[in-house]
A and B are shown apart, each in its own frame.
Chain A
Amino acid sequence: SQQGEEDPQALSIQEGENATMNCSYKTSINNLQWYRQNSGRGLVHLILIRSNEREKHSGRLRVTLDTSKKSSSLLITASRAADTASYFCATDAWTTDSWGKLQFGAGTQVVVTP
């Protein structure tokens, strides 16, 4: 079953603008990760945030985690055409059914136009 759900499904912005996408999940988690996928290629890890963390930064990326709302957001600041990709959240949940499994959402497709 799908644990994380991204919102929006698609996002179109211009270069220089910020892009924000959200991820909601259903069960308690150990950590949440964000990945990027360029068209048809393998996923690339962006950032991991643990359940006891609230915010994390990496370059132009800012991730927040609200465990009370079971949600996370990924902010890309000053976007570039090279940021055009699909972005996925993935959760490592604390349930017997999910032990050992990283569960991915369906992704947000981001298009950055020059």
Chain B
Amino acid sequence: EAQVTQNPRYLITVTGKKLTVTCSQNMNHEYMSWYRQDPGLGLRQIYYSMNVEVTDKGDVPEGYKVSRKEKRNFPLILESPSPNQTSLYFCASSLGQGDYEQYFGPGTRLTVT
């Protein structure tokens, strides 16, 4: 089944404790991205990647890191999480940027206390 998976689905952590949210897709998609969703703000893009080893900042990259060492994986790293990073996070993938539908993962609900 074609899908985007994320882990963990739920995470409660404390300020400053490094964490990684994994994202994997099995559709051989070139393009992957991370979004955060906050009430009233819709989805905002954090980082995106057009291909392996090619990543770029989205609209809200501060406090996040990403890497794209393999085509299928695009982990999101929070080196020192803060309470303002409490949010619902989505990973998405598509064949390319812009002109293609994006496939979304199920989401990761992160709470930073």
Contact = CB atoms under 8 A, between A and B. Distances in A.
Contact of A100 (B43, B48, B90, B92): B48
B45 interface: yes
A103 B35 CA distance: 10
Nearest to B100: A48
B40 A42 contact: no
Contacts of A25: none
A7 to B, nearest CB: 13
Q: Helix, strand, loop or mixed for chain A's interface?
A: strand
Contacts of B88: 40
Contact of A104 (B42, B50, B99, B100): B42
A103 B104 contact: no
Contacts of A92: 97-99
Contacts of A40: 88, 107, 109
Interface string A27-44: 000110101000011111
A104 B46 CA distance: 12
B22 interface: no
A109 to B, nearest CB: 11
A78 interface: no
A103 B45 contact: yes
B103 A45 contact: yes
Interface of A: 1-2, 30-31, 33, 35, 40-45, 48, 50, 88, 90, 92, 99-107
9 contacts: A2-B41, A30-B98, A42-B4, A45-B103, A88-B42, A90-B43, A102-B97, A102-B102, A106-B42
